[in-house]
A and B are shown apart, each in its own frame.
Chain A
Amino acid sequence: MKHYRQIPFFLRYIINAAVLVGFLLLGNGILSSGVMNRAQSSVVLQIGIYVLLAVSLNVATGYLGQLPLGHAGFMAIGAYTAALIWKALPGKSPAVIVLGLIAGGLLSAVFGILIGVPALRLKGDYLAIVTLGFGEIIRVLIINLPGITGGTPGLMSIPKHSSFLVVYITVIVSCVLIHTLMKSRHGRAILAIRENEIAAEASGVNTTFYKVLAFTVSAFFAGVAGGLYAGYTGILTPGNFTFMTSINILVMVVLGGLGSMAGSIIAASILTALPLALQSFNKYRMVIYALLLIVVMIFKPSGLLGRYDFSLSRILEKIINGQLFKKSQKAGEEHA
């Protein structure tokens, strides 16, 4: 058999980085040229935020195989933390912006550990109920701490730090970090728990640790996404973080394919952009949205991409080996 030529790692990194920078310049160019109106460019930011929310939920749902329903709670913690820091620290320096996002993520991660340790003893529906309760507790706490959070009317005049550049870089960095985590022995341990928990434990995987780890990573990046959300809207009210928000994010993950980062990104983009694109027939918007979900679940129950993950290098390798249209022997593999 002819040797299958592979692209060396460093070259892969350069290619990937070049493509990402290319997208950055392209996006920035389009947004600053004024081709898009305000509503459209704000949708671009929303897409970025929801992509990060979906990708982060995918860690706990798709990779770990649990069903948490309190993602909006983690998002809220990150959003309020970042907002309060940004309000306290004036200026638009990158350090302030990064500080707010990371502090939001960290506090959210702390709650992830606090909730995860007891809740992850439960499975399936029971875990869903507990995390659902957690999300609601966070929302009620926010309402009842008006001194800090502004209560029901909300937190106003938050500096709008979430420019396209900030959102894009944050989302890309987060996705890369989650991806590299999953391509390590730690990531494999998390996947092994999804595949067969007893076998994982018997193979020496500390399942408690890795469950809490996955849950915490998921919470951290949800917190970061919350920070981006705060810097995008400028106003936070508890109504932004209801149970429905958690469900919306979950729908994106399920629609994209549990365990596929590319799927989460595509589904989050479509489901965020769709309502805007359908504005002209506003009446039927929710009908179309629901129909789309039903159709996908009937014809592709594993989600749009299943567990497939997109890899530019893999496609390039196929091209240089002249096998692009041959059926892959590695079908279903999760390399990227």
Chain B
Amino acid sequence: MKNVNSNMVPLDGLGIIPERDAGTPPILDIRHLCVDFGGLRAVDDFTLLIGKTEIAGLIGPNGAGKTTVFNLLTNVYKPTEGHILLNGQDTRGKSMHQLNQLGIARTFQNIRLFSGMTVEDNVKVGMSHGYSDSVLSAMLRLPSWWRTERRQHIRALELLDLFNLADKANTLAGNLPYGDQRRLEIVRALASEPKLLLLDEPAAGMNPSETQGLMENIRMLRDEFNIAIMLIEHDMSLVMGICEGIAVLNYGKIIAKGTPKEIQSNPVVIEAYLGEEAVK
């Protein structure tokens, strides 16, 4: 757990990142992001920095626009204003799979596995770049096909092993228990070797002990792969337990940014969650 509890330091007056990442440019640099759905401004002036190995949290009441932010980051929606720099590169106009190649991978709030395919094949689909065997060499089973298949098989089992799913490699993904499905989605996202992993409510529907296990998994991922992780979560024990920087969203606007400690004692946050009376 070499990275835990690094101090948060300000960067360019725009946000805070972990001290250990201060020497490197932030992995994600979001400036003044806005999106309108018809007359509704779903996300308003969203500015956030995420350090290279930071675990960042995005929280807020239901309907605050958290998933919309994820969808903007992965270009499911086009921002009305503002821009996103991923590792210094503007993501505007890139398709979803190009963004994946640039180093962004995500999971979904409502699980989206390839349920009719095996667990192993789900992970292999995630390994979508870095292989060069052509369609023709696959049809004719040329040596490059054999190499790719062997590499993907070994890598898939390694990744599954991290989450103790290797012995279920041949099960259909749709037949996995719920918690395993959530974790398989993370493995699939990891397979594309992302620099930034977006987890949309990874602990949803998990019991406390599963959540505890997931927390350790997430920390392990960051330490093992040296990546940044941004997560949306309602489970406060998870968010406060592992996130270094937290942004709180309400009605599409960031109402607070800071460390878990600062967020917990921020009256504006408490008001957004519990109502005005709670603050008094």
Residues of A within 8 A of B (CB): 177, 180-181, 183-189, 191-192, 194-196, 198-207, 213, 259, 307, 329-330, 332-334
Establish whether residues A201 and B129, one from each chain, have CB atoms under 8 Å apart when the complex forms.
Answer: no
In this complex, how many residues of chain B approach chain A with their Cβ under 8 Å: the count is 41
Contacts of B121 in A (CB 8 A): 188, 191
Max chain B Cβ within 10 angstroms of own Cβ: one of A188, A207, A332: A188
Establish whether residues B135 and A333, one from each chain, have CB atoms under 8 Å apart when the complex forms.
Answer: no
Max chain B Cβ within 10 angstroms of own Cβ: one of A183, A187, A203: A203
Q: How far is the CB of A260 from the nearest CB of chain B, in Å?
A: 12
Establish whether residues B129 and A204, one from each chain, have CB atoms under 8 Å apart when the complex forms.
Answer: yes
Question: Interface with A: B78-86, B111-119, B229-237, B259-267, which one?
Answer: B111-119
Max chain A Cβ within 10 angstroms of own Cβ: one of B106, B139, B149: B139
13 A-B Cβ contacts within 8 A? A180-B138, A180-B141, A191-B116, A191-B121, A196-B112, A198-B96, A198-B108, A202-B106, A203-B128, A203-B189, A203-B192, A259-B116, A332-B172
Establish whether residues B105 and A185, one from each chain, have CB atoms under 8 Å apart when the complex forms.
Answer: no
Contacts of A199 in B (CB 8 A): 108, 112-114
* Residue B127 interfacial (CB < 8 Å): yes
Contacts of A185 in B (CB 8 A): 124-125, 127-128, 131, 133, 138, 148-149, 152
B65-96 CB contact bits vs A (8 Å, 1 = yes)?
Answer: 00000000010100000000000000000011
Contacts of A189 in B (CB 8 A): 125, 128
Given A206-B97, A207-B97: A191 in contact with B117 (beta carbons within 8 A) = yes
Q: How far is the CB of A265 from the nearest CB of chain B, in Å?
A: 19
Contacts of A192 in B (CB 8 A): 114, 117, 125
Establish whether residues A186 and B138, one from each chain, have CB atoms under 8 Å apart when the complex forms.
Answer: yes
Contact of A333 among B95, B170, B188 (CB under 8 A): B170
Contacts of B148 in A (CB 8 A): 184-185
Given A181-B135, A185-B152: A204 in contact with B114 (beta carbons within 8 A) = no
* Residue B46 interfacial (CB < 8 Å): no
Given A180-B138, A187-B138, A332-B172: A203 in contact with B126 (beta carbons within 8 A) = yes
**Identity of the chain A residue whose Cβ is nearest the Cβ of B140 in the assembled complex:** A180
In whole angstroms, how far apart are the Cα atoms of A187 and B114 in the complex? 13
Contacts of A333 in B (CB 8 A): 118, 170, 172
Establish whether residues B96 and A201, one from each chain, have CB atoms under 8 Å apart when the complex forms.
Answer: yes
In whole angstroms, how far apart are the Cα atoms of A204 and B188 in the complex? 11
Contacts of A188 in B (CB 8 A): 117, 121, 124-125
Max chain B Cβ within 10 angstroms of own Cβ: one of A185, A213, A330: A185
Contacts of B74 in A (CB 8 A): 202
Establish whether residues A205 and B125, one from each chain, have CB atoms under 8 Å apart when the complex forms.
Answer: yes
Contacts of A307 in B (CB 8 A): 116
**Identity of the chain B residue whose Cβ is nearest the Cβ of A176 in the assembled complex:** B139
Establish whether residues B188 and A203, one from each chain, have CB atoms under 8 Å apart when the complex forms.
Answer: yes
Given A184-B138, A184-B149, A333-B172: A201 in contact with B113 (beta carbons within 8 A) = no
* Residue B100 interfacial (CB < 8 Å): yes
In whole angstroms, how far apart are the Cα atoms of A252 and B106 in the complex? 39
Given A181-B135, A185-B127, A202-B106: A195 in contact with B97 (beta carbons within 8 A) = no
**A-B complex: 9 closest residue pairs judged by Cβ atoms:** A204-B128, A184-B138, A204-B100, A195-B114, A199-B112, A201-B96, A192-B125, A196-B112, A203-B126
Establish whether residues A213 and B112, one from each chain, have CB atoms under 8 Å apart when the complex forms.
Answer: no
**Identity of the chain A residue whose Cβ is nearest the Cβ of B192 in the assembled complex:** A204
Establish whether residues B124 and A204, one from each chain, have CB atoms under 8 Å apart when the complex forms.
Answer: no
Q: How far is the CB of B27 from the nearest CB of chain A, in Å?
A: 18
**Identity of the chain A residue whose Cβ is nearest the Cβ of B194 in the assembled complex:** A204
